[in-house]
Amino acid sequence: MPLGLLAAQRSAAGRIASTSLRAAAHPAISTRGFASASNVLRTLPGAASSAHRTSLSLNDKDLKTLAAAQRASSSSAFAKENASDRDTITRLLYSLASRKEVERYLRIFSAANKFAVLKVGGAILTNELDELALSLSFLHRVGLYPIVLHGAGPQLNEILEKEGVVPDYIDGIRITDAKTLRVARQVFLEENQRLVEKLESLGSRARPIPLGTFTASYLDKEKYGLVGKIERVDKEPIESAIRNGCLPILTSMAETEDGQILNVNADVAASELAKVLEPLKIVYLNEKGGLYHGKTGELIENINLDEEYEDLMKQEWVKFGTKLKLREMKELLDHLPRSSSVAIISTDQLQKELFTDSGAGTLLRRGYKLFRHDNIEAAGAERLRSLLRDNDEEIMDGRKSVAQFFSELSKHPYTIYGDEPNDVVAFVSRPQGEVPILTKLVATRNGVLNGVTDNVFSLIKKDHKRLVWTGRADDENRAWHYERADGSFSRNGRSLFYYGISDVGEVERVLRSIEDKGRVERAYLPLHARATTRGFHTSARAQRPSLQSSSSSASSATRGYATAVERSGPLPATNAEPKRVALIGARGYTGQALVSILNQHPHLSLSHVSSRELAGRPLAGYIKSEVLYSNIGVDDLRKLEEGRGDSAPPDAYIMALPNGVCKPFVEAVQQGGKGKHGGHGRIVDLSADYRFEDDWTYGLPELYSRQAIRDSRLISNPGCYATNTQALLAPLLPYLDLQNPPTVFGVSGYSGAGTKTGQTKDGQPVTLPKISAEDLQGGLRPYSLTDHIHEREASRHLSRLGGFESSANADPALKVAFVPTVGPWFQGILSTVSAPLKQKLTAKEVRKLYEDFYAGNELVTLSPTVPEVKDIQLKHGIRLGGWQVHSDGKRVVVVSTIDNLLKGAATQCIQNLNIALGYEELAGIPTN
């Protein structure tokens, strides 16, 4: 398996199988801290909605509302799952992780004989019963049946204390006399029934199994009294419950052969249960949410027992309960398949642990003993050959032979890392005095399922303080790479990752050096590549393109530009929390495009859609949850932002209203947000109303400051023609002859002319184009031949980008001439610029300008030929090409295409929202 595919190791049963790409926490896609089960369930129709994705305690009204919704969606016998209900919750899971991620775990869990044993501490039943019941109900409603075993220690101590009985322990085991056992039996039965009743109030069938599962003998009657040692586990009561659609709820009480009830430690009972059932997951729920390092106080996310156990047990802070817990976990996992794992988490993290690659709390798995060798023979040449031939894509495809790879590897000192069964092997090239490169990492299916790759990478990181490696930029599990990297460069569908190199200048020197020496392909490292690091951007101010180093004819270029507007590359994501968006004015083609993108967005969901004509009707094409159109007026909007509406305020508003209409709606949000900590919800306005206002941020990320967008609560979305025009002209700004301004001829599909409301035969409102293909009769229709608003918009912002003027009211120094036309196709814009220059350039130099300017912007594609509308329709980016220069060298012609409904409106809106809310800029936006 090539390194570009290594993150697939976390697929299949990776995380389930105890492993894996546990830290999928690149800021762009991190799932740390997302919605708990209660929040997800509360978004179901009929349930109280939740604007905040944090764990919370539900009141009685919330629970009754949710229970009613759940019961309404269930059959009286609950023998069969309601398909639509399951689909709804499955879609809600997509807010926790990617669709593929969620579906992968659901598929594997559903196919497992026994998917999970959950041990629940007594304190959880006392303090977090609502959260626990909602989490279990969540799993039940998607067809999963965790076996739940609970304790009741704190409750028992409280009652015993009231009765004057002082709890007594030997070796951590409660001494249990007849009186203590009587109270324990009563407490266990009450707590068991309380959990069952709570689950059934939520519409999930549950079966109490307080006794009958565990048969025990006396542990030591003289020493401990009525305390049992489990001798046998009867699976039938559990399997009977699951066959009948019930969640089995067990206590840690056992019986002797002659019927004497004995007290059993709940952790021990869960362990014995797991040995018999062999589940994929054994989950211990506690209030701490994991194991913590005794000195640093930090959460221990992974423990690979085969590799780390002996050293860990020697640590001075590992003692008493921690040592006992680790010993018990080691003994348990030694009895189970390597696909099983133990997780110690808090209740609100259960869905995160089960359905995301990042997981939660502390994960314990067996792992494997690892090796490192400095030569191929020591690592086993034939075994390596077999592994590479069967699992490495590059060699399997015939692009390189094993012998060729070994020969290239041997040119420099190297180290081979792997595990004893050779399920994962990594090759690190380390020339003297240079940064090491992870040239290849290969994993078998067993290596994938058992999380060996993480172990191997950790060993590499111990040996090398700096490292470079490569991978596919479109890897669906690219989070694995980002989490392990301090930064990355992407180019031509490939990414280069590195850690241990923090200085921007050093990054460039190191990468240029390894490229020049042929240690990585040149495709990875353009001069102005997209470069991001966790926590900061490696190039806060993008360097302006200069031709001085490549062409003598351009040496007279003296003007650097963008002195008035800072332009930066893509920013690192700082957030992965789900957010809610209100779409105000959801009719039209742009509204439909926005709904389509938001329907697939990993973090954003629609909470409100406004349309007077369609009020009360369901929003078509949106399947994350049921959303009805509503007629949201100005007063309604103010109340919604104040929190006085029927639901919590959204995190952001998209104003998709006609020009001249937006102002009162914006002011309503601003008034509603007065006095709020952090201010009102973010606003992205798609109209032209605020594109000339200095207190609004102009949102065209490829040209203007992304940091300004992130810091802003008021963002004006550029016009479609204006976007295309500015994309055409921005790289040319230092060379334009301002005395002879450029002319842009633009042709748009007729969807750009807007919509009107029509009616079907039954009187239902429908959206129709203002101008149709029939109206155009196959021809073109020029309009607004002078003073088009997009002409003024492009002139104003390009002048500021070039540093020509900075005042909103000043006459722009660059005056773009623009002629718009409607064409007989539905969507897509083709614009051609004819731009006089103040100095001579060649076509090659012009092409280089565009390459440097747009390097690292994934939505911008450069074409060697003239782009056409068909190249861009239904795609989310910009396509530029056809660079030609007049024979006198002083007039350039360039062509650009965009989809007016996507990059010209909806896609750009989502880009701006992503940046403003701290997500990865292209989250939810396909880039192919």
Looking at the annotation, which residues are catalytic?
720
Bridge partners, 364 (sequence order): 303, 342
Angle, vertex CA 675, rays to CA 672 and CA 677, nearest 5: 105
- Region at 716 (left for phi over 0; alpha for psi -120 to 50; beta for the rest): beta
Coil, strand, or helix at residue 397?
A: coil
First to last CA, the chain: 24
Backbone CA torsion sign across 709, 715, 719, 725: negative
Q: How many CB atoms lie within 10 A of CB 209?
A: 22
Q: How far apart are CA 191 and CA 129, in angstroms?
A: 10
Q: Which of 74, 138, 144 is nearest to 106 (CA)?
A: 144
Q: How far apart are CA 862 and CA 841, in angstroms?
A: 19
Q: E-assigned strands of 260-311?
A: 261-263, 281-285, 302-304
Coil, strand, or helix at residue 760?
A: coil
**Token code pair at residue 184:** 């324990």
Angle between helix axes 99-111 and 83-93 (nearest 10 degrees) is: 130
Q: How far apart are CA 797 and CA 799, in angstroms?
A: 5
Sheet holding 604-610, edge to edge: 629-630, 604-610, 579-584, 652-655, 682-685, 714-716, 697-698
Q: What is the Cα 657 distance to its own chain's centre?
A: 30
**Token code pair at residue 473:** 């930029």
Q: Which of 786, 817, 781, 813 is nearest to 800 (CA)?
A: 813
CA dihedral 188, 190, 192, 193 (to 10 degrees): 160
**What contacts 113, CB < 8 A, 6 or more positions away?**
277, 278
Bridge partners, 532 (sequence order): 488, 537
**Token code pair at residue 25:** 């926490």
**What contacts 274, CB < 8 A, 6 or more positions away?**
117, 282, 332, 336, 340
**Token code pair at residue 909:** 């809106």
Q: Which of 855, 26, 854, 921 is nearest to 491 (CA)?
A: 855
Where does residue 647 rank: exposed (0-12), middle (13-18), buried (19+ CB within 10 A)? middle
Q: How far apart are CA 101 and CA 250, in angstroms?
A: 31
**What contacts 163, CB < 8 A, 6 or more positions away?**
179, 183
Q: Which phi and psi (to 5°) does residue 595 adopt?
A: -60, -40
C-alpha atoms less than 13 angstroms from C-alpha of 366 in its C-beta half-sphere: 18
Q: How many CB atoms lie within 10 A of CB 413?
A: 14
Q: How far apart are CA 493 and CA 523, in angstroms?
A: 9
DSSP state of 777: T
DSSP state of 293: -
Q: How far apart are CA 294 and CA 67, in angstroms?
A: 42
